[in-house]
């Protein structure tokens, strides 16, 4: 781990440790266990009770004062504010959104969809970007809960399954999760038909005459990766084709992961004529590895991705990528509708799951298999 990365991790830890104290104080206030005008425990006793530093206690108190829950009186102590319910009422029309990576166009489009739908229904949105860090994601969730937000949307990323706090949030918080399924979370879901989308992409390649199709997949515990891998296998099975294990490589969803995975496949066999990747970033990495080996796209190897991501610099790709569109904007709209409906008392008790269809976008990174000279 680099010093810079280690520093970021330590900063995230320091930012996070005061949140349980803050959240617990809010719960006590809103449940009436701490009433208006009550004096809370001293800083020293809070340090002893929660096992955190004086600095962390002061940070929690400072934020609760700023949010209107507490009032600090010099020389007397910290008290529950008279008008804290007014502050909670202000947050009643606010939806918290936690997103994994705003640098990814897929996530940005989802957020745009959420924001549009929220505004149309008289709600405002506050946003937290966690940079694919599960601890930071948890920190934002705790912060939003502590601020009295009853409606929260999480646009998940590759590390969200490590966030155990999802399983602690009860149904009193109207929670919607977008993209990846989180086992044990009391939440509504919006996702896309990943298996069918991947299956369609592979069938398209088979229709172009490809019989040696590589798959750059992601960790099986992540629902999107698992379902797309199932789609790959299903397409081969329905075409009566056997799966070649040499052509399957696990990646971490990143461009570098796709690059390394494709290099390993090409080191084992040059018979591969096509590759389908778990997402577009992995596909971009695969394209780089293919060209580095002196091979051409799509003449030697066709490449297909997933997600319809946008690059800030389109010249970074050798040619436009065939991909599966997930309707990101519409995913955001659906998530906002679910949360707003819950906030208005609609939807019943059962968890709702919305699965949107995908659409294959055919571009010039895929082509028919060229007949090899004998």
pLDDT for residue 348: 84
Per-residue model confidence (pLDDT) at position 168: 86
Distance CA 32, CA 85 (A): 11
Say yes or no: 217 and 310 in one domain: yes
Residues lower than pLDDT 70 in the chain: 1-16, 83-91, 312-316, 371-374
| Same domain flag for 163 and 198 | no
DSSP character for 304? E
Q: Do 210 and 311 fall within a single domain?
A: yes
Alpha helices, DSSP H only, in the chain?
3-16, 19-31, 43-50, 54-66, 84-91, 105-120, 134-146, 194-207, 223-238, 255-268, 280-292, 328-343
Q: Is the pTM of this model over 0.85?
A: no
* Shared-domain flag, residues 158 and 235: no
Domain that holds residue 132: 91-192+327-356
The model's pLDDT over 222-246, given as tens digits with 9 standing for 90+, comes to 999 999 999 999 999 999 999 999 9
Bond from prior residue into 65 cis (ω within 30 degrees of 0) = no
In terms of Cα–Cα distance, which of 323, 318, 331 is closest to 307? 323
Cα separation, 104 vs 255, in Å, equals 12
In sequence order, the β-bridge partners of residue 302 are 274
Q: What is the Cα–Cα distance from 64 to 339, expressed in whole angstroms?
A: 25
Q: Could you tell me the CATH number of the domain that includes residue 111?
A: 3.40.50.2300
Q: Which residues, in sequence order, are CB contacts of 6 under 8 Å at separation 6+? A: none
- In-domain check, residue 363: no
pLDDT for position 83:
66
Using DSSP, state whether 291 is helix, strand or coil. Answer: helix
CATH number at residue 36: 1.10.10.10
Does 372 reside within a domain?
A: no
């Amino acid at each position: 781990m680099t010093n810079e990365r280690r520093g970021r991790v330590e900063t995230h830890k320091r930012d996070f440790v005061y949140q349980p104290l803050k959240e617990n104080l809010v719960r006590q206030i809103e449940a009436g266990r701490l009433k208006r005008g009550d004096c809370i425990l001293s800083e020293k006793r809070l340090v002893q009770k929660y096992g955190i530093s004086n600095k962390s206690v002061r940070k929690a108190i400072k934020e609760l004062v700023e949010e209107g829950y507490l009032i600090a009186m010099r020389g007397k102590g910290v008290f529950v504010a008279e008008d804290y319910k007014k502050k909670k009422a202000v947050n009643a029309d606010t939806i918290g959104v936690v997103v994994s990576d705003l640098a990814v166009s897929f996530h940005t489009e989802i957020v745009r969809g959420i924001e549009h739908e929220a505004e149309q229904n008289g709600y405002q949105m506050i946003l937290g970007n966690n940079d694919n860090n599960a601890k930071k994601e948890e920190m934002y969730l705790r912060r939003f809960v502590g601020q009295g937000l009853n409606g929260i949307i999480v646009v998940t990323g590759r590390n969200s399954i490590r966030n155990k706090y999802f399983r602690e949030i009860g149904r009193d918080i109207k929670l919607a999760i977008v993209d990846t399924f989180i086992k044990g979370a009391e939440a509504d879901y919006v996702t896309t038909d990943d298996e069918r989308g991947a299956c369609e992409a592979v069938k398209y390649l088979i229709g172009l005459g490809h019989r040696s199709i590589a798959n750059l997949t992601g960790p099986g515990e992540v629902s999107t990766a698992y379902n797309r891998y199932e789609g790959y296998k299903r397409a081969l099975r329905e075409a009566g084709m056997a799966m070649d294990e040499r052509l399957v490589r696990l990646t971490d969803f990143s461009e570098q992961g796709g690059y390394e995975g494709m290099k390993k496949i090409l080191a084992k066999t040059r018979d591969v004529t096509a590759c389908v990747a778990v997402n577009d970033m992995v596909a971009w990495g695969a394209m780089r590895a293919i060209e580095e080996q002196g091979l051409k796209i799509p003449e030697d190897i066709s490449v297909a991705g997933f997600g319809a991501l946008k690059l800030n610099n389109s010249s970074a790709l050798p040619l436009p990528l065939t991909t599966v569109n997930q309707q990101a904007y519409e995913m955001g709209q659906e998530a906002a509708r679910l949360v707003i409906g819950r906030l208005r008392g609609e939807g019943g008790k059962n968890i709702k799951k919305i699965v949107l269809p995908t659409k294959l976008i055919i571009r010039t990174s895929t082509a028919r298999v060229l007949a090899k000279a004998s």
